[in-house]
């Protein structure tokens, strides 16, 4: 047999060996998956049912605290706030009795704040939504709950503006009710799938200008990297104190100690004058 014949035989043998090796490897992988997959699925579903049970318990606690019938609140979780976060809002309002509350991102949290205002008559709530559709839905739910008199829902569409020399898509500053300072700012909007992961950064400027010294800002979604970086900046660069609360999406409450920012933000949009 010629050298070429030997070489061809060798190549064929090598290919056969590779095919056998690949089949064994696939078989081993499938066996391992067979063993691990049901365990992983069961662990995942166990974790998720524990989380669901916990939120059901929190929802029940929330209804009892607000003296509501089960079903009185719109659906929670997902885009809406989770019951554990809503209970943190109840804690804060009952402990600190804020008179003026600014909420970024309307929804079930606005209804909870409305019920709280019904009990603490001195509280006025200003809720911001970037979409008329969701603002209108919240207004209708506030009316159905009989607490519309306590909550004003403003639409502030997202607009590109400059904050601390950076262009950001955020609520149109000129549409925000900033004629007076707030005791509490609740940050649960705008959605970062529209603004990017650090899309809520302008809150730093908002707190500098519109949160009174001694006031608090509370973040939902505090486990996300974007929120964590905003919280770190408020603490490190602006002297806020940080208190972490237990909530499935993460919740952090910060208290302002420094004086408000002196410098006006650089509002660059056409015809837009800087806020007073
Ligand atoms: C995180 S949500 C605010 C949730 C609100 N704080 C609550 O407790 O229900 C932020 C914004 O997402 C928008 N949004 C609400 N539900 C949505 C949905 N199902 N799909 C897309 N956007 C939604 C609304 O404009 C809302 O202001």
**Residue 192 pLDDT:** 95
State both tokens at 205: 């400027």
Domain positions in the chain: 1-72, 75-255
- 104-161 tens-digit pLDDT: 999 999 999 999 999 987 999 999 999 999 999 999 999 999 999 999 999 999 999 9
**Residue 259 pLDDT:** 58
Q: Does any ligand 1 atom lie closer than 6 A to the CB of residue 105?
A: yes
The Å distance, Cα 131 to ligand 1 centre, comes to 9
- What parts of the chain have a pLDDT lower than 70? 1, 259-276
Pick the CATH number of 75-255 from 3.40.190.10, 3.40.50.150, 3.20.20.370, 3.30.2030.30: 3.40.50.150
**Residue 43 pLDDT:** 87
The Å distance, Cα 79 to ligand 1 centre, comes to 5
Query: What contacts 222, CB < 8 A, 6 or more positions away?
Result: 228, 231, 244, 247, 249, 250, 251, 252
Measure the CA–CA gap between 224 and 64, rounded to whole angstroms: 30
Measure the CA–CA gap between 228 and 222, rounded to whole angstroms: 6
Give the nearest ligand 1 atom to 129 CA.
27
**Residue 272 pLDDT:** 41
Measure the CA–CA gap between 62 and 46, rounded to whole angstroms: 24
Name the DSSP letter for residue 47.
H
* H-only helix segments in the chain: 3-66, 83-96, 108-119, 132-145, 192-195, 203-210, 225-238
Q: Does any ligand 1 atom lie closer than 6 A to the CB of residue 191?
A: yes
């Amino acid at each position: 047999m010629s050298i070429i014949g030997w070489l061809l035989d060798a190549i064929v043998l090598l290919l056969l060996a590779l095919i056998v090796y690949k089949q064994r490897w696939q078989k081993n992988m499938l066996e391992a998956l067979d063993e691990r997959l049901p365990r992983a699925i069961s662990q995942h579903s166990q974790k998720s049912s524990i989380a669901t049970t916990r939120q059901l318990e929190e929802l029940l606690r929330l209804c009892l605290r607000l003296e509501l019938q089960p079903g009185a609140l719109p659906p929670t979780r997902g885009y809406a706030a989770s019951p554990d976060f809503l209970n943190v809002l109840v804690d804060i309002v009952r402990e600190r009795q804020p008179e003026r509350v600014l909420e970024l991102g309307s929804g079930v949290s606005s209804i909870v704040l409305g019920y709280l205002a019904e009990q603490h008559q001195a509280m006025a709530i200003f809720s911001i939504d970037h979409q008329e559709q969701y603002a209108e839905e919240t207004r209708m739910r506030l009316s159905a709950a009989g607490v519309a008199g306590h909550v004003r829902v403003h639409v502030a569409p997202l607009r590109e503006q400059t904050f601390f020399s950076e262009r950001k898509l955020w609520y149109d500053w000129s549409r925000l009710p900033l004629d007076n300072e707030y005791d509490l700012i609740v940050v649960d909007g705008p959605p970062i799938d529209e603004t990017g992961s650090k899309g809520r950064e302008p809150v730093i400027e908002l707190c500098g200008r519109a949160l009174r010294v001694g006031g608090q800002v509370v973040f939902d979604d505090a486990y996300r990297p974007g929120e964590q970086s905003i919280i770190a900046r408020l603490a490190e660069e602006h002297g806020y104190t940080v208190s972490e609360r237990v909530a499935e999406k993460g919740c952090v409450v910060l208290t302002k100690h420094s004086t408000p920012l002196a410098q006006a933000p650089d509002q660059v949009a056409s015809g837009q004058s800087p806020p007073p």
